[in-house]
Amino acid sequence: MAFLFPSQSADALDSPQRLQLLPVARMLELLKPKPGLRFLDVGCGTGTFFFPVFEAMGGKGVFLAAELQEELLRRFLNRLEAYAEHPGYAHIEVVRAKPDRLPLPDSCADLALLSQVLHEVADRVAYLRELRRLLAPGGTLCLLDWRTPAEEPALRELASPMGPPFEHRVSEHQACLDLQAAGFGLVVTHAGFGQNWCLSARR
């Protein structure tokens, strides 16, 4: 389950240009994070979505953050310090992800997010099976990743498109097939994410 190529740097992930393409409000609308849920952010990066979800839930729940890349994990932990006095701080667990697995117990999350990571995974179906293992029965996985030029021809007209090289991208259709092969059901596509496609699937 090796990764195809390393993630971008923390500075690249936090660039204003990239953040403009990630509508946090739209993601919160989709996730509907309710207090008491167990939320897992896989490939949490510097916390683009993790911290807004934490705040939306008022720190009431269980919050799991997993990241593979040391530089991103370090940036995430630095941001986490600002929440040290928050009553929900004790409910946050941060783990260093491994290329072949996530060091977390079965059924530990009700809601999981994998944002702009799937295109980096060599064996996508195996990785999605690992995420399914972490979800409780009836739990939901949300996938967000970059559109391919086949889906969005206008991308080829951009002078310097954001995101990974086109040849590394995974289409929304292929992601649907991968989710089904991994055992997920009720795959739903969601609009409103610009240069990214977004899917949710039920365990």
Secondary structure element (H or E) that encloses residue 12, with its range: helix 10-13
Please write the tens of the pLDDT for every residue from 157-185.
876 778 889 999 999 999 999 999 999 98
Give the pLDDT score at 194. Answer: 87
Q: Say what angle helices 124-134 and 172-181 make with each other, to 10 degrees.
A: 60
The whole-angstrom distance between residue 57's C-alpha and the CA centroid of its chain comes to: 18
Q: What pLDDT band is residue 1 in, cutting at 50, 70 and 90?
A: very low
pTM over 0.75: yes
All domains in the chain, ordered by first residue? 21-202 (3.40.50.150)
